[in-house]
Amino acid sequence: MNLVNIFITALLTENVVLTKFLGICPFIGTSKSRKSAISMGLSVMLVVTLSSIITYFLYHYLLVPTNTEYLKTVLFVLVIASFVQLLEILLKRYFKSIHKMLGIYLPLITTNCAVLGIVLLNITNDFSFIEMLVYSVSSSLGFTFVIYLFSSMREKIENSDVPAPFRGYPIALITAAIMALLFSRYV
């Protein structure tokens, strides 16, 4: 698989949120404003990319040689949790407004299945180091793109006349479903 194909596929046609339905909680929770969506997207991108690099080397140079591949999920979660903790400390110290805006969703990056899913898909797809980097960056960029696009729609919908039963999360979920259809390669 060439790098451009990996990039475009991970970014659009196999977007982790809209086609694999990973990371729905932060997708819905932090998409009420564009600023919080971008902040969450960039945070996820940083955690995914750094975690993917570390887990790639741990998997190929520790787990495979010792025949302990079955430990990958536990080890990967520990790596991801470590990066999220580091990110939270840095944001709390240097970017207080972003830390406050992301609130509870920042520590939840640790349990964000999009992050773990991307890291595990790097191994499952048997990517080389460069392919893994391209996939990690493009998948997390796809997450950021979709959450930003969704937040723009939600801001517009907030100022629209929506029937009472559909206000809030119902119209947000309907909008997300339509986006998933638009990004699907099977439509």
**Domain-located, residue 110:** yes
Q: Rounded distance, CA 88 to CA 35, Å? A: 17
**Domain-located, residue 111:** yes
Q: How many domains does the chain have?
A: 1
Which tens digits make up the pLDDT trace of 145-183?
Answer: 988 988 888 888 888 888 888 888 788 888 888 888 877
**Domain-located, residue 10:** no
Which tens digits make up the pLDDT trace of 84-130?
Answer: 888 888 888 888 888 887 777 777 776 677 888 899 999 999 999 99
Measured CA distances, 21 to 136, 150, 167 (Å): 17, 14, 22
Q: Rounded distance, CA 87 to CA 64, Å? A: 29
pLDDT at 91: 84
Which tens digits make up the pLDDT trace of 2-21?
Answer: 999 999 999 888 888 888 87
In the chain, the amino acid numbered 60 is: H
pLDDT at 111: 67
**Domain-located, residue 6:** no
**Lowest-confidence pick of 30-34, 65-69, 148-152:** 30-34
**Domain-located, residue 47:** yes
Q: 126-135 — which CB contacts under 8 Å span 24+ positions?
A: 127/6, 129/56, 130/3, 131/1, 131/3, 131/6, 132/52, 132/53, 132/56, 133/49, 133/52, 133/53, 134/3, 134/6, 134/7, 134/10, 135/6, 135/7, 135/10, 135/52
**Domain-located, residue 9:** no
Run of H or E including 78: helix 72-94
What is the mean pLDDT of the segment spanning 73-89? 89
Q: Which residues contact 171 (CB under 8 A, 6 or more apart)?
A: 157, 162
Band (51; pLDDT cuts 50, 70, 90)? very high
Measured CA distances, 46 to 145, 154, 187 (Å): 14, 25, 32
Asked if pLDDT for residue 1 goes beyond 70, the answer is no
Give the residue numbers spanning the domain of 90: 17-183
**Domain-located, residue 12:** no
**Domain-located, residue 3:** no
